[in-house]
Amino acid sequence: GQQVMQIPQYQHVQEGEDFTTYCNSSTTLSNIQWYKQRPGGHPVFLIQLVKSGEVKKQKRLTFQFGEAKKNSSLHITATQTTDVGTYFCLIGFQKLVFGTGTRLLVSP
């Protein structure tokens, strides 16, 4: 079935460092969503990207949709301990499929 790979699987950073996770699809997407799941919590919607090459910012978070609409990235500038969690992309091509996720650990 449809597989949506995210890299890296896991990243451990020092507070203040930047972080990026990438979401790659084997098919061209109509749109993509990003969610954050804190440890022991549930997924929380962050953003939806629709247009080719789209870039959206939310404070320290920058989301990008690839020109070919097959990949997306989430970049966090100057991480904080509150950024800890797993970041998932979600695609809705034919069926709803979450990416494999990137687990972020931030040390103070």
Partner 1 sequence: DTEVTQTPKHLVMGMTNKKSLKCEQHMGHRAMYWYKQKAKKPPELMFVYSYEKLSINESVPSRFSPECPNSSLLNLHLHALQPEDSALYLCASSQEAAGGFETQYFGPGTRLLVL
Minimum CB–partner distance for residue 103 and partner 1 (Å): 8
Q: Closer to partner 1 by CB, 60 or 93: give it.
A: 93
**Contact residues for partner 1 (CB under 8 A)?**
30-31, 33, 41-45, 48, 88, 90, 92, 95-101, 103
Minimum CB–partner distance for residue 30 and partner 1 (Å): 7
Q: Closer to partner 1 by CB, 13 or 47: give it.
A: 47
Q: Closer to partner 1 by CB, 5 or 17: give it.
A: 5
Minimum CB–partner distance for residue 78 and partner 1 (Å): 27
Q: Closer to partner 1 by CB, 37 or 62: give it.
A: 37
Minimum CB–partner distance for residue 85 and partner 1 (Å): 13
3-state secondary structure the chain: CCCEEEECCEEEEECCCCEEEEEEECCCCCCEEEEEECCCCCEEEEEEECCCCCEEEECCEEEEECCCCCEEEEEECCCCHHHCEEEEEEECCCCCEECCCEEEEEEC
Q: Rounded to an integer, what distance in angstroms lies between the CA atom of residue 49 and that of residue 44?
A: 16
Query: Can you tell me which residue has the tokens 């804190």?
Result: 38
